[in-house]
Amino acid sequence: MKKIIRTLSLLAATAMMLLGMHTASFAAYVVTDDGSGILSRDLLTGDGVSVGTVSVSVEGENVIVTYETSGGWELVETSLWIDDTTPRRISPSRFPYQADDIYSTSQTFTIPLEDADFDMDDDGTCDDQELYASAYAEVGMESGDTQGAWADGERIYSWYAATYFSFTVACGGDDDDDECDDEDEDGVCDDEDNCPETYNPDQEDEDGDGIGDACDTCEDDEDEDGVCDDEDNCPETYNPDQADTDEDGVGDSCDNCVYRYNPDQEDEDENGIGDACEEDPTLIELAELKAVPGLTNVMVYWETDAEVDNEGFNIYRADAEDGVYERVNDSLIPAQGENSTYVFVDDVDDMKTYYYKLEDIDTYGISTFHGPVSATPNVLFALLDVLFGLF
């Protein structure tokens, strides 16, 4: 039906042109600071090394997303999310746009704007609209070295490397480029107005929360994220998007078990990990988990017998066995499959006993914790390791 309506609209526009009538032309573009219409983001590995770029532009009624690598890297496979909402999935294999066996330095996706839920009228006019993209690539070298890389942006979840970025698509047909929407007629364009529906030409914002005093009804906004404390699902943690994956009323930014419904946030052992996340184990079987001391570090070593739907691992450390465990790895340690060996080196400052827990996360976001194991850095173990490689 949509195709039929679009076809009829095109026929009507053609008829009006033939009759000498005026009709607006569709001219969408990506809003950029330099006016080029091309937004570019670095393609970064987990170590923050740039291996290329991801660029976004609009041609006709399509979004064009182009991956390009540099420095001897080639694209092996790519995964892309584009929509009018921020992504919630962290597994690239679940993104709607995929390409594999590329082995080239460049690859392009052409996606109809309507598939990204971009709203446009039949006469080619539209309002500025923010879209969101999450772009992943597996890149490789001739040497066989491969890396996962994400387009530079905000992390979907703070504990995982997956990122997304936003961009604005605008179109105006034959509208005057110098004009802008100004609903409250205060001389400030709506897309820049901190109170777009309330007349406030001075744009005063005493608390600096991005909401003008004229329409800021919050008496309290402790985290200054623009959401009043009585409505904020994380009143003490900055989270303007109010993301709540498990829909338990507690925002992802402060939820002690992001993927499981636990509005009570119970944490009996007070280790910072909700009780709901320490139940119902995932389908991971460990053959071994140990912590080996060095001089100024601890090596956490583990082997798996089975890994079903495993996304990866996190390492948590505490100063006491029943203490509060905090994650020490910067990004999720990718799964390698069953019968695999993993090593994580944790640099520490003091020669005291450290306790570690291993968390595995499956593709559905469910996690299981293993351990704890402990180690005390000391000179003897470090010397034996250097001389004989015993550990």
In a domain, 61, yes or no: yes
For residue 272, the model assigns a pLDDT of 81
* Domain CATH for 70: 2.60.40
In a domain, 253, yes or no: no
In a domain, 364, yes or no: yes
For residue 280, the model assigns a pLDDT of 60
For residue 383, the model assigns a pLDDT of 60
For residues 154 and 18, membership in a common domain is answered with yes
pTM exceeds 0.85: no
The pLDDT tens digits of the residues spanning 333-380 come to 999 988 899 999 999 988 899 999 999 988 767 788 999 999 998 766
In a domain, 255, yes or no: no
Q: Which pLDDT band, with edges at 50, 70 and 90, does 125 fall under?
A: low
Query: Percent of the chain having pLDDT more than 90?
Result: 38
Q: How far apart are CA 334 and CA 314, in angstroms?
A: 9
The pLDDT tens digits of the residues spanning 181-203 come to 888 887 789 888 988 988 887 88
Domain span holding position 73: 2-171
Which of residues 122, 155, 171 is at a domain's end?
171
- With 90 as the cut, is the pLDDT of residue 231 above it? no
- With 50 as the cut, is the pLDDT of residue 5 above it? no
Which of residues 149, 171, 193 is at a domain's end?
171
Q: Which pLDDT band, with edges at 50, 70 and 90, does 98 fall under?
A: very high
In a domain, 368, yes or no: yes
In the chain, the number of structural domains is 2
